Amino acid sequence: MTATKAIECYCTNTSGHRVELGQTICLFVDGKAFMAQCQMSQNVPMWRKVEETCLSAHLSPMPQRLPRL
């Protein structure tokens, strides 16, 4: 009999950092922010949107224009 090695499953955020299964983070995609949870779908880790906006977006809305330096 051969020993089988467990495969670690996780997601990555937009910066390439590891996010564990079940964790929920604020993702920024195509200029939009939303809460997403790292989940499994048919043996593939994937992001599932769980809220339309991020909590931080409610607390401090994004400015319409960036300040000039």
| Angle at CA of residue 8, ends 37 and 52, nearest 5° | 10
Express each pLDDT in 4-51 by its tens digit: 887 889 999 888 999 999 999 999 888 899 999 999 999 899 999 999
Strand locations in the chain (E): 10-12, 18-20, 24-29, 32-41, 44-51
What is this structure's pTM? Answer: 0.69
In this prediction, residue 3 carries a pLDDT of 75
Q: Residue range 56-65: average pLDDT?
A: 52
β-strands 32-41, 24-29: how paired? antiparallel
